[in-house]
Amino acid sequence: MTSLRRALQAFGYLSFVGGADLLITIVVLCINEQPSYPGLCLLALTAFCAFVLGGNSIGVVRGERPAIKLLPQIIIALLVNVADIAVALTLDQAVVAALANALICLGVAATAHLVNREQMGTRS
């Protein structure tokens, strides 16, 4: 396994951790009776995208699918993360969790791009 695949695997597991962090944030916001339901729904959607992206990036590392198949999921996850950050900044809730998950998603996107180049046989 190359170092790029190991990095993608690490980002895949980090994506799972980011999704779990968002779910914990949802629970904490509900317990503290500060729910804004559109914000919570968007956090839940972002957590779902994080779990899907993490699982599929680990599938790419195991060789079950090519890295190019991650592209639609990465685009959707990045768009959902941008919306989540905008709503989190507006509501002033869960800003750090949203930013952390967006950085993890960017890491998955960058390493998936490099793994795709490696699979296609082109460098630089």
What percent of the chain has a predicted confidence (pLDDT) above 90? 72
Contact 26, 43 (CB under 8 A): yes
Nearest to 46 by CA among 30, 25, 67: 25
Sequence ranges of the domains in the chain: 3-120
Q: What is the pTM of this model?
A: 0.88
What residues contact 29, with CB distance under 8 A and at least 6 apart? 35, 39, 40, 93, 94
Asked whether the predicted pLDDT for residue 124 surpasses 60, the reply is no
Asked whether the predicted pLDDT for residue 61 surpasses 80, the reply is yes
Condensed to tens digits (0 to 9), the pLDDT of residues 75-115 reads 999 999 999 999 999 988 889 999 999 999 999 999 999 99
Return phi, psi of residue 80, to 5°. -65, -40
What pLDDT does residue 33 have?
75
